[in-house]
């Protein structure tokens, strides 16, 4: 897993939260939610902010229509 990219993605998906990773590798979201791993953090974020989690799920699963190029 590319952790810097994961961090940027989470910061984009959960814009109202400050998401960081400390020197010991623990993930924290706005100091109210923390976990030693990313899966635990995502579970806690989903519980703490279900609206943002639903938005994130929608953004990650929406289908994009291909753009056609003029001939």
Average pLDDT, stretch 40-60?
Answer: 92
Distance (Å, rounded) from C-alpha 53 to C-alpha 57? 6
Q: Which one is predicted more confidently, 64 or 27?
A: 27
Residue 52 clears pLDDT 80, i.e. is over it: yes
Distance (Å, rounded) from C-alpha 45 to C-alpha 47? 5
* Burial group, residue 9, by CB count within 10 angstroms (0-12, 13-18, 19+): middle
- Residue ranges per domain, the chain? 3-57
Residue 39 clears pLDDT 90, i.e. is over it: yes
> Would residue 66 be called left, alpha or beta, if left means φ above 0 and alpha means ψ between -120 and 50 degrees?
beta
Q: Give the predicted TM-score (pTM) of the model.
A: 0.69
């Amino acid at each position: 897993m590319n952790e810097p990219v994961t961090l940027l993605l989470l910061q984009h998906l959960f814009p109202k939260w400050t998401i960081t990773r400390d020197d010991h590798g623990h993930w924290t979201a706005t100091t109210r939610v923390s976990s030693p791993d990313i899966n635990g953090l995502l579970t806690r974020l989903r519980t703490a902010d279900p609206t943002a989690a639903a938005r994130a799920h929608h953004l990650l699963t929406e289908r994009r229509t291909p753009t056609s190029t003029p001939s």
